[in-house]
Structure 1
Amino acid sequence: MEWLRKILPGNSRRTEKEAVSSLYKSILGRARNPGVFGDLGFADTMDGRTGALAIYAGLVTTRLSGISAEGRAVSSRLTDRIFDDIDAGLRETGVGDASIARKVRTIGERFVGLGIAVNEAFLTSDPKTTIQDILKRNDLTGGTGTENAASDIVEARRILDAQPDEALLSGHLDW
């Protein structure tokens, strides 16, 4: 019956939507883990929380994009989903329609910049130290939290890289 589901019209879209939803929940779970905030990691501020989301989402979207055209499509939909939630969150806090686009753009630029910087850190000879520098430079952590957050990011990337491509494409991310 699985083969029939794959060929029915509209089913791949639903499956992709479910995969995106599942991946997003996994990313949020990692980015909102209380164990990586405060003195233990990221600053417990809007910037710290947004930065954590950007970094973990950047790891996942980059990994997806490297799999295939299907992975790039899932990555794109995942990014859209994240920014839809950011937009909705800003509206809930009372940000007016006139300034929403500017605020989302500012968050988006930082979001993409952090994702790129952290992924590029893994191309260096010492990713953990490079990530610590990125976290400090962007005021996302402080004190011992910088080392802890960098260690968590390196571990998240290790776990993500060990995930089978098909599992990620279907929305399964176990970290």
Structure 2
Amino acid sequence: MNWLRKLLPGNTARADRAAVSNLYAAILKRARNPDIFGDLGFADTMDGRTGALAIYSSLVTTRLSAISQPGRALSSRLTDRVFDDIDAGLRETGVGDASIARKVRTIGERFVGLGIAVNEAFLTSDPHVSVSDILDRNGLTGGTGTSNVADDIIDARRDLEAQSDDSLLSGQLDW
């Protein structure tokens, strides 16, 4: 009977939508944690908030992409969801249709750049220093906030790596 469920349309799509929604909710919860904003964390600005979202999203999408083809597909759908939300947020703030594409593209380029840089930082001999440099260079934090955020990013990656592939593919993200 399991083979029949796989053939029926909707079951897989529904499960994938639920997985993307659950993963995105967990990313937002981590990226919007008030304990990592302000003087002891990310700057509480549009750049700081989109930077936090970019970094935590990239940790998850990179981990998913390393799993398998289903992980890469889920990673792609999760990225689409993140950018759909960014687009909707910009529209809510009054950004007009004429400039929305340009603004989303600018945010997207920064988003991808931060994600790549942070993931590459984990390949260095001292990820804490490398992540801190990225945060400072991009003006995302200041003062003691840089070290606190770098610690949180490293903890998030460690938690993410400890989770099973199956739990992530099903949308469970415990960090």
| Shorter-chain TM-score tier | over 0.9
Q: Give the total of aligned pairs.
A: 175
1:82 paired with 2:86, answer no
Secondary structure (helix, strand or coil) at the match of 2:124 reads coil
Of the structure 1 ranges 8-17 and 66-75, higher mean CA displacement relative to structure 2 is found in 8-17
Structure 2 runs not aligned, ≥5 long: none
Q: CA separation of 1:3/1:155 partners in 2, compared to 1, >3 Å: closer, same or farther?
A: farther
Provide TM-score, normalisation by structure 2. 0.97
What displacement does 1:9 show? 2.0
**What is aligned with 1:123?**
123
**What is aligned with 2:21?**
21
- Sequence identity (%): 78
Provide TM-score, normalisation by structure 1. 0.97
Of the structure 1 ranges 8-17 and 41-50, higher mean CA displacement relative to structure 2 is found in 8-17
**What is aligned with 1:51?**
51
Q: CA separation of 1:163/1:2 partners in 2, compared to 1, >3 Å: closer, same or farther?
A: farther
Structure 1 runs not aligned, ≥5 long: none
**What is aligned with 1:8?**
8
Q: How does 1:57-136 map to 2 (within 5 A)?
A: 57-136=57-136
**What is aligned with 1:30?**
30
Q: Which amino acid aligns with 1:67?
A: I
What displacement does 1:6 show? 3.8
**What is the alpha-carbon distance in structure 2 between the residues aligned to residue 152 and residue 7 of structure 1?**
42
1:153 paired with 2:166, answer no
